Chains A and B, each alone.
Chain A
Amino acid sequence: QQPVQSPQAVILREGEDAVINCSSSKALYSVHWYRQKHGEAPVFLMILLKGGEQKGHEKISASFNEKKQQSSLYLTASQLSYSGTYFCGTEKGGAQKLVFGQGTRLTINP
């Protein structure tokens, strides 16, 4: 039931782009994306509902393909502050628990 994230880790130079994928074997109602820095709480990035919508603000955006049960997070022109572990949380129905992937560790070097 746990969604699978890929890649597990990625190292970039500042200014490069990254894509993080989240795949589920179950039908999904929504996908939630969070970023967590070491020793801190997960910080909400965005939520995508079924319907194939794409959301984003500034240089971080995401898509949700309901038919493929996949979501992708896009980070454009990465900044040092983007470093951290990114988690997708999937939800089977409204107002329910989130099942998180194992995380993708993103390191941005100057």
Chain B
Amino acid sequence: NAGVMQNPRHLVRRRGQEARLRCSPMKGHSHVYWYRQLPEEGLKFMVYLQKENIIDESGMPKERFSAEFPKEGPSILRIQQVVRGDSAAYFCASSPNLAGASDTQYFGPGTRLTVL
């Protein structure tokens, strides 16, 4: 049973370019969470999605960042006009659909974004 998959694993962008990060949840999981981790720091929540719905985006910066989880295909975290401060590891986690229940979130290997 494949785990959470993320690609690319490493991404280098120049300032002003766009970054697209992809996450495929574990089989049978319909909840996806995105977290950002700066070097030597903890994980910071960004956004929580279910298929075709954004449930909680309280951790998303107001500008340049967007996320989607379409009916078909992976979840996408999109960063427009990247700046050096966007350099970080971006982790995706997924959990099964247990409505209202506390559930284990399984993390993918992460995408390490470097902005030059």
Contact = CB atoms under 8 A, between A and B. Distances in A.
Interface string A66-110: 000000000000000000000101010011111111110000000
Contacts of A100: 35, 42-45
A96 B42 contact: no
A41 B100 contact: no
A95 B45 contact: no
Contacts of B48: 96-97
Given A97-B33, A97-B48, A44 B42 contact: no
B104 A44 contact: yes
Contact of B102 (A2, A42, A95): A95
Contacts of B69: none
Nearest to B98: A95
- Interface extent on B, as a size class? 20 to 34
Contact of A95 (B103, B106, B107, B110): B103
- Interface extent on A, as a size class? 20 to 34
A102 B42 contact: yes
A32 B101 contact: no
Interface string B2-46: 000000000000000000000000000001010100000111110
B95 A95 contact: yes
A101 B43 CA distance: 8
Contacts of B91: 41-42
Contacts of A21: none
B102 A102 contact: no
Contacts of A49: 102
Interface of B: 31, 33, 35, 41-45, 48, 56, 58-59, 91, 95, 98-110
Interface of A: 2, 29-30, 32, 34, 40-44, 47, 49, 87, 89, 91, 94-103
